[in-house]
Amino acid sequence: MATSVTHGIRISVQPRFEPEHSDPEQGRFLFSYRIAITNTSEHTVQLLRRRWHIWDSLAPKREVEGPGVVGETPVLAPGEQFTYSSVCDLRSSLGRMDGTYTMRRADTSDHFEVRIPAFALLYPWQAN
């Protein structure tokens, strides 16, 4: 599990290869990932935007940006956690993702960036 803390916001990521939705012979590798966002700061915050950098060993680097995550812009009081799952498809068996969330402090409306730690997207048999 990859974990980072920025401005008191802890991001933990657990990736998983999805064999039932992949076809390695056709160059389709699907990975899911579960993210836990925990507010360890003293301030209520809201997640406004996400930006992902996706590296695939057989394809150009991709960037995905947009509002919220999975259709939500969660508000987290101190000590609260929000979890969600999503997916990423690759053409190869080896990739990596990282990124940032844009957050807003509720009391000041100040925006700040939170780092999403880099994590590997690795076909399980690739590691042997």
Tell me, what amino acid is at 105? R
Question: pTM for this one?
Answer: 0.93
For strand 45-56 and strand 94-105, is the pairing parallel, antiparallel, or unpaired?
Answer: antiparallel
Residue 117 has pLDDT above 60, yes or no: yes
> What pLDDT, in 10s, does the model give residues 66-104?
999 999 999 999 999 999 999 999 999 999 999 999 999
> What pLDDT, in 10s, does the model give residues 29-49?
999 999 999 999 999 999 999
Q: Which CATH superfamily is domain 2-127 in?
A: ApaG domain (2.60.40.1470)
Q: What is the CA radius of gyration of the chain?
A: 16
- Rounded to whole angstroms, the Cα distance separating 100 from 6 reads 10
Percent over 70 (pLDDT), the chain: 97
